[in-house]
Chain A
Amino acid sequence: MPQVLHLVTYVPLVLLLAIMAALVWKAIPAIRYNGLGFFGRTTWNLGNLYAPLVSGHGVTHPPGAAYGALPLIVGTVVSSAIALVIAVPVAVGTALVVVEKLPPRLSTGIGFCLEVLAGIPSVVIGLWGIFTLGPFLSHHVATIWANHVPDVPVLRFFRGPSGNGQGLFTSGVVLALMILPIIAATTRDLLRQVPRATVEGAVALGMTDSEAAGAVTIPWVRSGVIGASVLGLGRALGETIAVAMVSGSLVGSNVHSFYSAFTTIAATIVTQLDGALTDASGLAVATLAEVGLVLLVITLLANIGARMLVRRVATTALPVGRGI
């Protein structure tokens, strides 16, 4: 019995290696054809699919095929960063008020809300995002500042027409909603483990409860919250369907404004695979494997970083009385 179980335990490891091997194997023609310039170009051109295939870089490909991953990588990273900037303060504030102020019955209700938000399929969030949230954000929220932002180098990004509700801003908000539950729930559980006596000590020194939260509670849980946030970042980087629905799916051009259409790696794979299959040389499909590999590397780095942070907090911060 243990021997059988032993074999089964290797399934995740084997699967992980198999996934990576399959992606690398499939991506080899694209890696050879696209070269290092892949990460610097912005074009996304399948080439002339009706012309005879030609050979170049040791790969048969349609004439004129040129791929660049820069807009995809930038779109992925920027939209996830926006999500993180929105989600972390909201999640921490929510967890603080739930743990410190709300009666248990209400905080159970909030917990239910978080579970529902975490459980709602991303395709449903995308549906709501494209028809309800997106138009609301572009017509009623972005307009508050879009025309008043000064026309200076960095802030210019937030200036200009607020779009139709499909784009970077909406995607950032949708992603923020999707990673809120994991950050808020983790922070809440960590806050509940902060030893009562230390907080009481801070209050006994004459602090207000917000000062006690800032000086004792938050530092106590900080690295755990960072870990949960990076975990959320990993989710946001890999989120596909909701972003594919609200991003506007702009392939082949860099994002130029906070409200403009864009695309991410994951959304590109899901929206472009159908079209890529029409490329008889298989280069388009191979290129999608290559961007998939890039996405895998980015998310794995984020996830491993998060696990290390969370593990560190789990082994050092929990014993009562340490550190203070």
Chain B
Amino acid sequence: MTVATAPAGEVQPASATGSFGRRRARNVVMWTLCSIALALVVAPVVWLVAGIVAQAVPDWRWNVLTTNQLGNGGGVLNAIEGTFLIVAGVMVLAGVVGIAGGLYLAEYASARHGSLLRGASEVLSGVPSIVLGYVGYIALVVALHWGFSLLAGWIVLSVLVIPYITKTTEVAIRNVPTSYREGGDALGMRSGYMLRRLVMKPALPGIVTGLIVAAAISLGETAPLLYTAGYNSKGPSGALTHSPVGYLTYDVFTFYNEPYKSAQHLAYEAALLLIVLVVLLIVVSRFIVSYSQRYSPDRQQRVTGRWRRGAQPAEARSAQPPLDAASPPPPPRA
């Protein structure tokens, strides 16, 4: 037992140090510090979003969405088309590989085999994105003579998000209650049929959420794309190789530093679009999670052992003893 040890022996000194007033003061100080920490998390998020909005919205032009990038200004139509094409391709490529990998790890892999492959996947997720971009450049763009291209961008971004998709798929499938399979077995289902009809269906919200996270990641990446997809001020040509593609993050990364008002404004407009898209994806994934939880009320609690509010066993809801006369009892944890 090396972790999570808070033996009763260590507990005693805390209540023996200092007078009652000092201890209460320390209590207040500590929670004040924690509240300040909370403010330090929330404030930058609000400040950041508000800052980008304040720069982009006052001079917002709707035609930015319908014109291509041109000279030191223009619009982001080429980048929007390119971004959607890149994200869609990554969803297909990484989705197939990631979901298949997660399915295998959850359903078929032996423990030792599984831990090796899982470890490889986790290590791969730790490779810095610029290293992936660099390898993509020397291997795909230069060595294979693809040039800056859609295909190189797809492959490098897929490598980046496959570990996420594998992980979320595996977790989602493992979270399907064993009783479902037992029921299927009892009915004499073949394993492939059972997998499709009984296991994948309840796992689907989790898998889709993982895909959405992957979409948000590939939407926001810059470093792996700079030297693989390149940049194009025209819309995607449709060719897989030898044709660079534009994307929104490039507009931000390149034009913020140009000495032209129109170029910097374009960077802010692209940044605003990125924020809007990311927030949309987060809202959609939250909606999926809450929707799937609503229709299987006890699943999460049973599978993860985590208490959700309102689903706690009776003994866990036992009343908190009041701390002392001065402070109210702490609220039940969510």
Contact = CB atoms under 8 A, between A and B. Distances in A.
Interface of A: 1-2, 4-6, 8-13, 15-16, 18-19, 22-23, 26, 89-94, 96-104, 107, 110, 112-117, 119-128, 130-133, 177, 180, 184, 192-193, 196-198, 200, 202-211, 213-216, 219-223, 234, 237-241, 245, 266, 269-270, 273, 285, 288-289, 292, 295-296, 299-300, 302-304, 307, 312-313, 316-318, 322-324
Given A19-B135, A121-B274, A132-B51, 18 more contacts: A1-B192, A15-B159, A18-B139, A93-B34, A94-B34, A110-B42, A121-B221, A124-B271, A127-B256, A196-B333, A238-B128, A240-B223, A266-B128, A289-B134, A292-B134, A312-B3, A316-B4, A318-B305
B256 to A, nearest CB: 5
B311 interface: no
A94 B10 contact: no
Given A1-B192, A127-B271, A322-B4, A209 B220 contact: no
A119 B278 contact: yes
A237 B128 contact: yes
Nearest to B40: A90
A20 to B, nearest CB: 9
Given A11-B162, A200-B320, A304-B123, A22 B282 contact: no
Contacts of A130: 256
Interface in B219-240: 219-223, 226-227
Contacts of A119: 216, 220, 278-279, 281-282
Nearest to A113: B45
Interface residues of B, number: 107
Contact of B121 (A12, A113, A198, A214): A12
Dominant secondary structure at the A interface: helix
Nearest to A303: B126
A307 to B, nearest CB: 6
B282 A215 contact: no
Contacts of B253: 123, 126, 241, 245
A300 B123 contact: yes
A303 B131 contact: no
A77 B33 CA distance: 28
Contacts of B314: none
A53 to B, nearest CB: 19
B163 interface: yes
B122 interface: yes
B26 interface: yes
A208 B327 contact: yes
A281 B122 CA distance: 36
Contacts of B107: 2
Nearest to B268: A127
B328 to A, nearest CB: 10
30 contacts: A2-B104, A4-B100, A5-B103, A8-B100, A9-B109, A26-B138, A99-B333, A103-B331, A103-B334, A104-B309, A113-B41, A114-B41, A116-B279, A119-B281, A123-B274, A193-B305, A196-B316, A200-B318, A200-B320, A207-B11, A209-B31, A211-B15, A215-B11, A220-B4, A223-B4, A266-B131, A269-B131, A302-B126, A316-B2, A323-B6
